[in-house]
Amino acid sequence: MPSSLVRRVVDGLREVFQSGRSRPLQYRKQQHRALHRLITERQADIEQALKQDLNRNTYNTSLFELISIENDIKLVESNMADWAAPRPVKKNLNSALDDPLVGAIAAGNAAVLKPSELSEHSARLMKELLPLYLDKEMYQVVTGGVLETQELLRQRFDHIFYTGSSTVGKLVMEAAARHLTPVTLELGGKSPCYVDKNCDIAVACRRITWGKFANCGQTCIAPDYILCEPSIQDRIVEEIQKTLLEFYQKDPKSSPDYCRIINTRHFDRVLALMNKCTIALGGESDRSQCYIAPTVLKDVLPHFKIMQEEIFGPLLPIVTVNGLSEAIHFINAREKPLALYVFSSDKTVFFSLPVAPLALGVLFELASPVWLSTSGYL
């Protein structure tokens, strides 16, 4: 998309917002209902696009995407009148997720959406469908890669919401600073799991396995690595192996429930992280299909490459520590993660570990336009 067109998109949104079109609550409810029709009437198209992008099956598309959006819309619509009043907003499990487009519509914002160019089928479908359901003068989709993103960042926004990597998050914040634009960043990180020896290890490993390998590890709050005492490392590997067999059968590559890495560039990046690591489970790969098997790595040392960056893929390193104090020191010595997972039967363990700040979004006030990005990597 030419840079001049990107500017026209943003300028057009500002103009239509200033006309006052989105001020009536009835208008916002109409747009929410239209968004709800989109995800219900075009569910098959959405499932197909994510199948092409990630080999995602229909169950997980509903679980990870559609159900949460649908619940968010229902919750926001039923509370919109109260929320629009000048009082603090209450939150529950659904609203805490802060779907940015649903929130932007509820607050009467105009919005630009920039989907990741990596998920090309999903981005193309979003570009095609949103104008068919929502007010296309108030809600616009800009597709493209680095050049289009750079042009968007040159524009003056009232709020920017970005989900993705820390590297790009720094560029977003730097660009926003030129206009003193408020920014909400939901960035990834190396989210640790501490597995205490005094816990139900089978239950802990089942939960870690689901969280780690769902969407082939490509979620921002996926468990990045395990911290545990050496005495339980082999038991953890054993329990994860049992769970993987239950989830994906003997051959995850042929499982309808196992996704793929988004493209070959990130396939190569993830595969390179296994350098020097001891493979306890998995390790198989097929570049032609962007397939990397669910993989567990044992006896990983802190200086290994895999411990230097967010994995964002189906590799699960295990780092051994001598108890809780060493685990706390290990976590505190590194950048703050997006999430922290603790498994223990001792309640005092939960109060001893550092609490990582969890980026859940922002309450939007009336402003225009808002840029909503779900771009993972540039």
* Collapsed DSSP state (helix, strand, coil) of residue 2: coil
CA distances from 307 to 10, 22, 198, 301 (A): 40, 47, 26, 8
Which residues on adjacent β-strands are paired with residue 373? 114, 162
- Report the DSSP pairing between strands 278-281 and 295-298: antiparallel
Q: Assess whether 41 carries a catalytic annotation.
A: no
Residue 340: what residue type?
A: L
Q: Per-residue DSSP letters for 307-355? A: GSS---SSEEEEEE-SSHHHHHHHHHTSPPPS--EEE-S-HHHHHHS--
| The residue count for the chain | 378
CA distances for 51 relative to 23, 60, 67, 313, 343, angstroms = 38, 10, 17, 17, 33
Q: Which of 154, 158, 189, 188 has its CA nearest to residue 174?
A: 154
Minimal CA–CA distance to 10: which of 120, 114, 127?
114
Q: Do 80 and 29 meet the contact criterion of CB atoms below 8 Å apart?
A: yes
Q: At what angle do helices 120-133 and 43-54 cross, to 10 degrees?
A: 160
**What DSSP state is assigned to residue 254?**
G
Determine the 3-state secondary structure of 286 from DSSP: strand
Among candidate residues 77, 186, 239, 310, the one labeled active-site is 186
In sign, the C-alpha dihedral spanning 353, 354, 356, 362 is: positive
Q: Which two tokens stand for residue 8?
A: 């026209």
Q: Tokens 């060493």 — which residue?
A: 326
> Taking the CA of residue 134 as centre, how many other CA atoms within 13 Å lie in the half-sphere pointing to its CB?
30
Question: Can the peptide bond before residue 294 be classed as cis, meaning omega within 30 degrees of 0?
Answer: no
Return the active site residues. Answer: 186
